[in-house]
Amino acid sequence: MPLCWFLCGLTTMSQDLGKQEEDLAESKMQWFKEAKLGVFIHWGLYAVNGIDESWSFYNGYISHEDYLKQTKGFSAKNYDPLAWADLIKKSGAKYSVITAKHHDGFALWNTKFGNLNALESSPTKRDLIAPFVKALRRNNLKVGIYFSLPDWSYADYTHFTRDSIRYKIVDRPQRWNTFLNYSQGQLKELSENYNPDLWWFDGDWEHTSEEWQAPKVRQLLLNHNPKAILNSRLQGYGDYSTPEQGMPITRPKDKYWELCMTMNNSWGYQKNDRDYKTIDQIIGIFTDVISNGGNLLLDIGPKADGSIPKEQVEILKGLGEWTNKHKEAIYGTAAGIPKEHFYGPTTLSKDRKILYLFIKGDPKGEIVVRGLKNKINRIWVVGEGTKLSHKVVGKVYWSHYPGITYIQVPEHVLDKQMTVLALLLNDEVDLYREDGAVIESN
């Protein structure tokens, strides 16, 4: 057999395999790409004192012993998982991610590994994850499990507080293995019990991918559910990236990404933190996110009794009113057009023939779209229905420069938060990206 046949055959085969993997990744990421909004839940014993989740003892603001005393006050007595799921659904979110275990090691589910968990060490005496997973599924919402790789309370974990490390892996590899068996045992348990659609790891910075056995962990979870999605915080073995708190200013290069963000300045419930973002600000950030092709994972921090603070309920409800009215411009859309063409967030329908413009505040009469080569067949106000007229200005007959489009937006169609316009184009969106031209013969 000529060498080329053999080698070329191999190359095609590996190309096919690569393509297959890509298709698989694409298909499993589909729901995530279309979901746009998720609700993050940080719930744990830290809600009792209203202090930083795990970090408060790690950073030495409270002793570990006193931190753990919070278990006594973690009652969950008003926990209503169905009401949680209902509120999440109403917000317009399509998935939710709950902290099954934060860095402090306190597990919210019925685990056979270790004994720091809601059943054994708090008055709740029950599995808090199981009924929530059920409630989410009943509402057709995807299930995400947050799992901290570090477990600072576990006696065989390396790190304890900022100033004290229990041991180094090189000195005590056996001890590290004990920890890995425990941690991977918990992961297996979670995947068998709840079969999450998404895994949200955190804390990977404390060890390398070899030390975490990241490829093995990934495989373990995918063996159970090949369609499970993993976030990026597994030292390079995840499926999408997770910028935190700060809305990216330039469009992220990653194909799949999710901004996780608090409503105030805390992930968990902190009585003292009243510094909430306004609903307008949250909608503004959300539209920036989807305009750039990402998802927003908006956090709530329920109280120790399981009730959700009223400010957070109000934000989710307000968000829900807006997302429901404007759903056609949100779900299943693609990232919008470059900012030079419209000074605000935009999205595109799947077939790229409808351009959605998000208009903040009162545009005072007209808004501007620049360099749109398409003909606009129709413009309407999303969720309101009024048809709007437009005018093209500055189109020159001697060049294909398309001019500037002005759209009249009367005051009575404005949404109290953010108005959305739909522009039905004659074809897939086509933008003028060249320099201006000079007339050569007049």
Instruction: Using CB under 6 A, list all residues that contact ligand GLC.
Output: 42, 53, 55, 202, 244, 260, 267
**CA 322 to CA 290: how far, in whole Å?**
14
As measured in angstroms, the least distance from the Cβ of 57 to ligand GLC is 12
- What size, in residues, is the chain? 442
**CA 231 to CA 218: how far, in whole Å?**
11
Nearer to ligand GLC, 288 or 299 (CB): 299
Nearer to ligand GLC, 208 or 377 (CB): 208
Q: Map tokens 């709740």 to a residue.
A: 124
Give the pair of three-digit tokens for residue 323: 């997302």
Q: Map tokens 């749109």 to a residue.
A: 372
**CA 331 to CA 329: how far, in whole Å?**
7
As measured in angstroms, the least distance from the Cβ of 202 to ligand GLC is 5
Amino acid in the structure at residue 400: H
Nearer to ligand GLC, 154 or 267 (CB): 267
Tell whether the torsion through CA atoms of 145, 151, 155 and 156 is positive or negative: positive
Q: 39 with 92: CB under 8 angstroms?
A: no
Nearer to ligand GLC, 50 or 371 (CB): 50
Q: 198 with 228: CB under 8 angstroms?
A: yes
Q: Which of 36, 40, 101 is nearest to 301 (CA)?
A: 40
**CA 361 to CA 409: how far, in whole Å?**
12
**CA 121 to CA 129: how far, in whole Å?**
16
As measured in angstroms, the least distance from the Cβ of 26 to ligand GLC is 26
Nearer to ligand GLC, 267 or 269 (CB): 267
As measured in angstroms, the least distance from the Cβ of 88 to ligand GLC is 18
As measured in angstroms, the least distance from the Cβ of 374 to ligand GLC is 40
Give the pair of three-digit tokens for residue 317: 């409800």
As measured in angstroms, the least distance from the Cβ of 95 to ligand GLC is 15
Nearer to ligand GLC, 55 or 322 (CB): 55
As measured in angstroms, the least distance from the Cβ of 42 to ligand GLC is 6
**CA 71 to CA 73: how far, in whole Å?**
5
Nearer to ligand GLC, 260 or 421 (CB): 260
As measured in angstroms, the least distance from the Cβ of 260 to ligand GLC is 5
Nearer to ligand GLC, 259 or 421 (CB): 259
**CA 112 to CA 102: how far, in whole Å?**
17
Per DSSP, the residues of 19-50 read HHHHHHHHHHHHHHHHH-EEEEE--STHHHHT
As measured in angstroms, the least distance from the Cβ of 51 to ligand GLC is 12
Q: Nearest-5° angle of CA 372, CA 377, CA 379? A: 85
Nearer to ligand GLC, 79 or 152 (CB): 152
As measured in angstroms, the least distance from the Cβ of 244 to ligand GLC is 5
Assign 178 to helix, strand or coil: helix
Say which residues have a Cβ less than 8 Å from residue 13's Cβ, sequence separation at least 6.
none
The residue nearest ligand GLC at its CB is: 260
Q: Which of 268, 348, 346, 356 is nearest to 312 (CA)?
A: 268
As measured in angstroms, the least distance from the Cβ of 64 to ligand GLC is 16
Pure H helices in 59-166: 64-68, 81-91, 118-121, 129-138
Q: Nearest-5° angle of CA 324, CA 327, CA 328? A: 150
**CA 237 to CA 257: how far, in whole Å?**
14
Nearer to ligand GLC, 51 or 369 (CB): 51
Nearer to ligand GLC, 179 or 267 (CB): 267
**CA 382 to CA 360: how far, in whole Å?**
14
